Structure 1
Amino acid sequence: MARQSGILPLKGTIGNITFYKTKAGHLAREKGGIDANRIATDPAFVRTRENGAEFGRAGKAGKLLRTAFRAMLLNIGDSYMTSRLTREMVKVIQADATNVRGKRNAIDGEAELLKGFEFNINGRLGGTLYAPFTTAIDRAAGALKVDIPAFLPINMLASPAGATHFKIQAAGAEIDFEAETFVNGNTASAELAIDATATAVMNLAVNVTANSTKPLFLALGVEFYQQVNGALYSLKNGAYNALALVNISGMPATPGGV
């Protein structure tokens, strides 16, 4: 990989050199690699095919999870979130102890490994909200809850410069990775001033299917606003809004199983 220089950066392929643009700048690399047909058929590449199949499933599972939380993610600014989530979903799939390599999948994996995942690496929940909170997932009732005692926003929020208001958001999702479907919901506090006035106790609850047999995910986030002439505007297109998976209930045990 080489970095392009000059006032007219190139894009595309010339001869054996491919020119392309990334966040690191305009780069160039030599074309190469192994013929795709050989990878698809040669026994020497069986592990490559297995890894590719599982990586593909990880990508699809990550996309489904992102879609389930799309309403919250619309106000999150992290261009690397998709690749980071796919990487973590690969770990979920690799934890599948039921299926053979190459056939492992998210539904039989360890969804709990995603707990703590930060959707915005530039605005981590752990570095934004310092107020204590508790979470609970009641699978029988289909209820996902976050409880936050009263707190002083000016003390318990690491708010970005320019922020005058915030709101706390919670979202829950029941995801069927096999059927590629989900049931979701979200709730939020009112927009509150970032000052020394204590908030009310917050009890945020989201409902999905009661007695679900699918993985359940609970996310908690903080969204920041700036007040201008009495109106609230999302701060810097959500660059510092936080959202993380704070509780997960994976596949429930099969009755009579081991």
Structure 2
Amino acid sequence: MARQDGVLLLKGKLGGLSFYKTAQDGHLARQKGGVDAKRIRTEPGFARTRELGPEFGRAGQAGRLLRTAFRALVRNSSDSRVASRLTQKFVEVIHADTTSLRGARNVVDGDMSKLQGFEFNIDGKLRQTLLAQYSVAVDRAAGSVTINVPQFVPAELIAAPVGATNFRLVASVSGLDFAGDRYTSVVAESEETLTTLEVPVAINLPLEVAVGGVNPLVVVLGIEFSQVCNGAMYALNDGAFNALAVVAVDADA
């Protein structure tokens, strides 16, 4: 893959090259290549590829389910490549399945803890934006998930972008049924707080989950910025500065 440069920018095919434009990288060119699909389906040499294909499909489906479960938060706090990055992370989860045969490995029998720390916005990471300490407590028996941020000074421990006057913390937990392609999600959010506040504040975000639930639980925490202009609040919702990350995974019922 090469980047096109110059006055004349092409689109389409010319000889063995394809010219195209992407939203992320602009005008690009690449050489035609790859293996014929019929060879992959029939030749013995591609048996391993055929085995791994279904697993990659499961990874893509799992990533799509997770993004849908947290859509209310992901739509304002993700980068343009979050789908492919999340699919690759689920490939790691599936490859950690040590009980199923190759080609039949799956998310549930894999290692869900590999999702821990996943950042939905690579350009606005939670650990670089929310510098305050926080804890996550998951209690399936009580049907509760609690995110607690002890007292901190926003002016010192919130890395706010230029122009942001306020922030709020957002959180969600989802019980994910990967086999049935279903989910149950709950969202909580804090009050709007000044980014320049020099008085300590504490934030507690309680979330409810089904008592006795058996599906894996994934918890995300994020921060969203806004701006007050002439008395009105405007969200900085282009996704460039908001952060969202997986902060807890509980796969054991």
Where does residue 255 of structure 1 map in the other structure?
none
CA contact (8 A) 2:121 2:239 kept: no
SS in 1 for 2:233: strand
For the structure 1 residues 233 and 135, does the alpha-carbon distance in structure 2 shift closer, same or farther, using more than 3 Å as the test? same
Where does residue 21 of structure 2 map in the other structure?
21
Counterpart amino acid of residue 112 in structure 2: A
Aligned-CA RMSD value = 1.6
Worse overlay, 55-64 or 135-144: 135-144
Q: Deviations over 1:133-192 (max 9, x none)?
A: 111111223322101112211011111111100001111000011100000010001111
Paired with 2:179 and 2:200, the residues of 1 have a C-alpha distance of 41
In the TM superposition, what is the alpha-carbon distance from 1:77 to its structure 2 partner? 4.1
In the TM superposition, what is the alpha-carbon distance from 1:236 to its structure 2 partner? 5.9
Aligned positions of 1:137-176 closer than 5 A: 137-176=138-177
In the TM superposition, what is the alpha-carbon distance from 1:37 to its structure 2 partner? 1.3
**TM-score, normalisation: structure 2:** 0.94
Q: Deviations over 1:49-68 (max 9, x none)?
A: 12222111111100100000
For the structure 1 residues 49 and 251, does the alpha-carbon distance in structure 2 shift closer, same or farther, using more than 3 Å as the test? farther
Alignment size in residue pairs:
252
Paired with 2:232 and 2:165, the residues of 1 have a C-alpha distance of 11
Worse overlay, 76-85 or 155-164: 76-85
Paired with 2:111 and 2:2, the residues of 1 have a C-alpha distance of 39
Where does residue 82 of structure 1 map in the other structure?
83
SS in 1 for 2:238: helix
Alignment of 1:32 onto 2:33:
yes
CA contact (8 A) 2:78 2:244 kept: no
Paired with 1:130 and 1:239, the residues of 2 have a C-alpha distance of 18
SS in 1 for 2:249: strand
Where does residue 55 of structure 2 map in the other structure?
54
Where does residue 100 of structure 2 map in the other structure?
99
Counterpart amino acid of residue 59 in structure 1: G
Paired with 1:9 and 1:210, the residues of 2 have a C-alpha distance of 58
Paired with 1:19 and 1:109, the residues of 2 have a C-alpha distance of 39
CA contact (8 A) 2:219 2:248 kept: yes
Aligned positions of 1:1-258 closer than 5 A: 1-22=1-22, 23-198=24-199, 200-235=201-236, 237-252=238-253
CA contact (8 A) 1:224 1:238 kept: no
Paired with 2:231 and 2:189, the residues of 1 have a C-alpha distance of 21
In the TM superposition, what is the alpha-carbon distance from 1:11 to its structure 2 partner? 2.2
CA contact (8 A) 1:77 1:240 kept: no
For the structure 1 residues 5 and 193, does the alpha-carbon distance in structure 2 shift closer, same or farther, using more than 3 Å as the test? closer
**TM-score, normalisation: structure 1:** 0.92
In the TM superposition, what is the alpha-carbon distance from 1:28 to its structure 2 partner? 2.1
SS in 2 for 1:201: strand
In the TM superposition, what is the alpha-carbon distance from 1:19 to its structure 2 partner? 1.5
SS in 2 for 1:39: helix
Counterpart amino acid of residue 177 in structure 1: F
Where does residue 256 of structure 1 map in the other structure?
none
Worse overlay, 63-72 or 102-111: 102-111
Paired with 1:170 and 1:61, the residues of 2 have a C-alpha distance of 20
| Percent identity of equivalent pairs | 49
CA contact (8 A) 2:226 2:236 kept: yes
CA contact (8 A) 1:152 1:197 kept: yes
CA contact (8 A) 1:164 1:194 kept: yes
Gaps of 5+ in 2: none
Paired with 1:103 and 1:127, the residues of 2 have a C-alpha distance of 38
Paired with 1:238 and 1:3, the residues of 2 have a C-alpha distance of 25
